[in-house]
């Protein structure tokens, strides 16, 4: 009967960096109690890590400094273990698509279910909820890319979804200035037709926010594709809904962008 240690070596030799408890029980023919004791021993020795119940990461020597492998290597099997679809997005996706300003300190994942964020070693995973109907409408293979690793791949938002996700959840993407920088860095890579089609699943104000920033960045083709959303809007919205003047009457002094029907209540700064 093979030991858990040998089983882990075999998995690594096959390019696997994780496993679930049930498959180890079946492969090793151990009692649950014996397997639990072996897993606990290897976690203490920093050979294993446990990000979710019943799901384990195999730590190579180079992983032990950070406490876990890069989440890109195991987010796909983790989400399959939880029975959920997903996409890597926001700052990590922006960096993947070439936004060099985005040194992502957090690994952000869009899901159709609310999940608890967690930290493992030096890695922080943040799960961002998108309503199930909108998620189903947007999380299509044509709008996704693959983040390839030495153990497989992870689903990552394509350029268009990355821009729209960052516009919708901009408070998790380094704020308005972070969003503006992402729009400048990768906006030109977005296909205008795909951008407009995917935008239909997002709140109108988020689409206008993105259109305004693409316009400012000089990405006219992409901005033009989103202009119809502004034309359908019936009222002005604040560029940043969270920013409110200390004195309500001062709100009238903010710049207003008639094209995008936005009140520019937060100054936008973009690095060259």
Report whether pLDDT(104) > 80.
Answer: no
Most confident of 49-53, 147-151, 247-251: 49-53
Q: What percent of the chain has pLDDT over 90?
A: 77
What are the structural domain ranges in the chain?
4-66, 73-264
pLDDT bracket for residue 29 (50, 70, 90): confident
What integer pLDDT is reported at residue 88 of this predicted model?
98
Report whether pLDDT(272) > 70.
Answer: no
Alpha-helix residue ranges (DSSP H) falling in the chain: 4-13, 21-28, 32-44, 75-81, 90-96, 132-138, 159-168, 175-186, 192-199, 204-217, 220-232
pLDDT bracket for residue 1 (50, 70, 90): very low
Query: Do the Cβ atoms of 107 and 88 come closer than 8 Å?
Result: yes
Query: Do the Cβ atoms of 182 and 94 come closer than 8 Å?
Result: yes
Partners of 187 in the β-ladder: none
Query: pLDDT per residue over 220-269, tens digit each?
Result: 999 999 999 999 999 999 999 887 654 555 555 568 899 999 999 888 88
Q: Which CATH class is domain 4-66?
A: mainly alpha
What integer pLDDT is reported at residue 252 of this predicted model?
56
Instruction: Scan for tokens 């989103």, then name that residue.
Output: 226
What integer pLDDT is reported at residue 150 of this predicted model?
81
Mean pLDDT of the chain: 91
Cα angle 87-89-90, degrees, rounded to a multiple of 5: 160
What integer pLDDT is reported at residue 100 of this predicted model?
74
Report whether pLDDT(154) > 50.
Answer: yes
Which of the residue ranges 16-20, 202-206, 254-258 would you say has the lowest mean pLDDT? 254-258
Residues in the chain: 272
Report whether pLDDT(192) > 60.
Answer: yes
What integer pLDDT is reported at residue 64 of this predicted model?
84
């Amino acid at each position: 009967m093979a030991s858990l240690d040998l089983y882990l070596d075999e998995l690594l030799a096959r390019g696997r960096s994780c496993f679930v408890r049930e498959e180890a029980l079946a492969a090793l023919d151990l009692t649950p109690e014996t397997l639990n004791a072996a897993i606990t021993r290897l976690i203490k020795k920093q050979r294993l890590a446990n990000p979710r119940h019943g799901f384990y990461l195999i730590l190579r020597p180079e992983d032990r400094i950070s406490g876990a492998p890069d989440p890109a290597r195991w987010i796909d099997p983790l989400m399959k273990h939880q029975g959920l679809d997903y996409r890597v997005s926001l700052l990590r996706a922006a960096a993947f698509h070439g936004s060099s300003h985005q040194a992502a300190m957090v690994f952000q994942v869009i899901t159709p279910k609310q999940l608890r964020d967690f930290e493992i070693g030096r890695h922080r995973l943040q799960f961002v909820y998108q309503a199930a109907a909108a998620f189903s409408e947007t999380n299509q293979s044509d709008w996704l890319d693959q983040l390839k690793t030495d153990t497989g791949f992870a689903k990552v938002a394509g350029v268009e979804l990355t821009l729209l996700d960052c516009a919708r959840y901009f408070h998790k993407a380094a704020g308005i200035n972070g969003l503006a920088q992402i729009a400048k860095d990768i906006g030109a890579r977005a296909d205008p037709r795909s951008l407009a089609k995917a935008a239909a699943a997002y709140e109108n104000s988020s689409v206008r926010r993105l259109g305004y920033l693409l316009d400012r960045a000089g990405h006219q083709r992409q901005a033009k594709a989103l202009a119809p959303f502004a034309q359908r809007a019936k009222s002005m919205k604040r560029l940043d809904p969270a920013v409110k003047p200390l004195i309500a009457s001062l709100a009238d002094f903010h710049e207003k962008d008639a094209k995008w029907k936005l009140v520019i209540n937060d100054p936008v700064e973009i690095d060259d």
